[in-house]
Amino acid sequence: VAASWVGMLPGTLLYVYLGHASRTGVEMISGGEVDLYRLGYTVVGVVATGAVAVYVTRLARRALRQRTKGAGLAGEADDCDGEACDEC
């Protein structure tokens, strides 16, 4: 349960932040006043959160691949030597 929670945390944070960013955008549009600093910070935050979520996901996949290598699990490519690739 704890491992599942930790594994799902980056995606959850991304979805929560996207919701916050959407709300901020709607408030700016409906209020008629655009604060460029707030908009800039929001965009940078969304990009950074997405990058971290992708990075952590790739790290987790690589670790799983290395742990299951040699275990003979179905769906694992033979030519994938523990590195991240699209075929695995």
What pLDDT does residue 40 have? 83
Amino acid sitting at position 25? G
Query: 22 pLDDT exceeds 60?
Result: yes
pLDDT of residue 15: 85
pTM of the model: 0.52
Q: 88, 77 in Cβ contact below 8 A?
A: yes
Q: What is the mean pLDDT of residues 51-66?
A: 86
Q: How many C-beta neighbours within 10 Å does residue 72 have?
A: 7
Q: CA 7, CA 27: separation in Å to the nearest integer?
A: 32
Q: What span, in angstroms and rounded, lies between the C-alpha atoms of 33 and 76?
A: 53
Smallest CA-to-CA distance from 50 within 8, 10, 5 is with 10
Name the most confidently modeled range: 33-42, 61-70, 77-86: 61-70
